[in-house]
A and B are shown apart, each in its own frame.
Chain A
Amino acid sequence: MTEARYDRAPGDRPSREMQASAPSPLFVYTTGLFLALLLTATSFWAANTSLLWPGGVALGLAVLAIAQMGVHLVFFLHITTGPESTNNVLALAFGVLIVFVVVAGSMWIMADMNQNMMMPSGEPMNLHMQH
């Protein structure tokens, strides 16, 4: 009996048949480390430089962070698109959906409430932001 028919445990490297053509695991981890260091350094540079348009920095930082999370998932946690990893990816996709709904939904609702709570003078009342 072969293990290929089972799912792969998250964090485990691909099965033996695939390993023959795959790069050595040490190389995978080291590549991940360098990519993550590169992205982190870019994030710190982008947050402090005056060369970039300030309005776009936050979006750029978000993109860099998501890219780095992807690097961690692929190179450190060995999440792949292979069939034996499907269940891990599906669970991850559901988790990402919930995270997106919670974060984006909260920010959207609270920004909307801020808008609707304008005082007659035009000053935002900011009730929930007082404390």
Chain B
Amino acid sequence: MNISVAIDSVPQEVLPSASEAGPAPKRIVVAYGFWIFLLSDIVMFSALFASYAVLGHSTAGGPTGAQLFNQVTVAIETACLLVSSYTCGLMSLAINSRRYLRTYLAALITFALGAAFLTLEIREFASMIAIGATPERSAFLSAFFTLVGCHGLHVTLGLIWLVVMMVQVAVMGFDATAQRRLLCFSLFWHALDIVWVGLFTVVYLMGVSP
């Protein structure tokens, strides 16, 4: 018998298509739904970006971005958020291999860097308000505080979420529910870093360059 005929006669294992295989596992459905939420969150940020882009030069005689922003602070903030995104990725690796110590360590570093970012941002806001650059001073400052403040609020929520998740891991262990929630958390944290990339470019770098 010809070898190719022999191969043809062996029934190949046919994978069932998605419609025949039934509904997808819950992990995929939940993560996809959360992905769509994140995209709608980014669409909301795009509206704030658009208002900042339109109002960025209407300082009404008040301080401009070049006078207010400190690039060193922004660079440190950016580095904090980027490295915390990286350690968040390391945390999801530790979760997949179910190692408690590495998960807690990566979560601790992620939390510390996120908290450092938030502290720097709050200090920046406080120093701006102290010299009279409040949100009601000009349209530029209203748009600035709305956009950057909204991102800071997201980071705050992410930090609270991370603490809650670590308590859940300590209590429940790495069961399927905790793993799904941790997957959603890491998506959220990476998406916040993507928003920050647009933010430091549009607000801090384009606003300061001549």
Contacts and interface: CB of A to CB of B under 8 A. Distances in A.
Interface string A19-55: 0000001100110110011001001101110000010
A125 interface: no
Contact of A106 (B53, B194, B208): B53
Given A40-B82, A77-B187, A29 B89 contact: yes
What range describes how many residues of B lie at the interface? Answer: 35 or more
B32 interface: yes
A12 to B, nearest CB: 7
B50 A106 contact: yes
B82 A47 contact: no
Contact of B21 (A1, A10, A54): A1
Interface of A is mostly: helix
Contacts of A62: 201
A5 B209 contact: no
A121 interface: no
What range describes how many residues of A lie at the interface? Answer: 35 or more
A72 to B, nearest CB: 5
Contacts, number: 157
B198 A61 contact: no
Interface string B194-207: 10011011100110
A57 B47 CA distance: 24
A102 B187 contact: no
Contacts of B42: 95, 99
Interface stretch (B55-63, B147-155, B169-177): B55-63
Contact of B43 (A10, A12, A36, A98): A98
A102 B60 contact: no
Q: What are the 7 closest A-B residue pairs judged by CB atoms, nearest first?
A: A9-B31, A95-B39, A106-B50, A65-B201, A129-B58, A47-B205, A99-B46
